[in-house]
Copies of this chain bind each other. A is one copy, B any other.
């Protein structure tokens, strides 16, 4: 008998960085290449996340990119695109597109413009989305990232949503950085088939030990091999040492404007300087920051992680 969740997303996923051309238009070709490298290493594709600069792209741009990934043969069963938006019609449009494309799940921010809104209002927002899409295949992962969105997903809201939509509500990404909250999500809801992904590899090992199913972490863009190694070996005696190792690398990236720092590292790895480009309101690293990042990573014996995977050679 198969495990009831065998078909579900688990393991390490990456909010995939989005490459832009010199005119700041998204580069579908660059995104396909980067996604291929991630998938080859075992990393799932949480495209259109916070670290993908998803909020800085229109719905039409995201639809086009998703179509390009699917046309290139990237596996929808390893995809959890971010489809949340302030306007529910936008969220419905992109979510429906993802579901019809066969994506395993969608990661859904709450509407994030208004602050201090009630759980009742957020419940209605997710309910409107689920009923607006109206597709049995929809699997929603709730995206709790209060430091950025300003709008938390409370345990009470999860409970209400799970009761109303037990099949559609599949889990959550917890990017609160608050381990107690992640542990509470697992404790309260994992038994109901609610899959919890901490939002950082810093919580991958404690998460797996507590009953989380993996993690969704930005630094998988630049440190996939080491993070995947911990995921595969988490039950071995070496796990704690790997945990410390990946914490250290993450700490280096996190001390810089993180999206820009990761794009800088991908630019070195790929030899393609356009990878440095970000959309406003983000700003690329200065030359000084870039040198300092490189120095700190070298001191930490950070290897360009994609080299072994024949990065960018096809």
Which A positions have Cβ atoms within 8 angstroms of B?
24, 50, 55-61, 86-90, 93, 110-115, 117-118, 120-122, 124-125, 127-128, 147-151, 279-283
A146 to chain B, nearest CB (A): 11
Question: Which of B50, B147, B148, B280 is the one whose CB lies under 8 Å from A128?
Answer: B280
Query: A117 contacts which chain B residues (CB < 8 A)?
Result: 281-283
- The answer to whether A280 and B148 have CB atoms under 8 Å apart is no
- Which residue of chain B lies nearest to A122 when distances are taken between CB atoms in the complex? B281
Give the nearest-CB partner of A114 in chain B. Answer: B281
Cβ contact of A281, chosen from B24, B61, B111, cutoff 8 A:
B111
21 contacts between A and B (CB under 8 A): A50-B113, A56-B88, A56-B111, A57-B87, A57-B89, A58-B90, A61-B89, A88-B279, A111-B281, A112-B113, A113-B148, A113-B149, A114-B148, A114-B281, A115-B148, A118-B281, A121-B281, A124-B281, A125-B281, A128-B280, A151-B281
A124 (CB) vs chain B CBs: closest residue: B280
Minimum C-beta distance from A10 to chain B (A) = 27
A-B residue pairs, 9 tightest by C-beta: A55-B113, A121-B281, A125-B280, A124-B280, A117-B281, A55-B86, A58-B89, A121-B283, A111-B281
Q: Do A86 and B56 contact each other (CB < 8 Å), given the known contacts A115-B148, A148-B113?
A: yes
Q: Given A113-B149, A121-B282, list of 15 further CB < 8 A pairs?
A: A55-B87, A55-B113, A55-B114, A56-B86, A56-B88, A57-B87, A58-B89, A61-B89, A86-B86, A111-B281, A117-B281, A117-B282, A118-B283, A121-B283, A122-B280
Closest Cβ of chain B to A25, distance in Å, is: 9
**Chain B residues with Cβ under 8 A from A87's Cβ?**
55-58, 61
Across the interface, name the chain B residue whose C-beta is closest to A89: B58
The residue of chain B having its C-beta at the shortest distance from the C-beta of A25 within the complex is B89
A90 to chain B: closest residue by CB: B58
Contacts known (A55-B111, A110-B281, A128-B280); A150 close to B150, Cβ less than 8 A: yes
Q: How far is the CB of A131 from chain B (nearest CB, A)?
A: 11
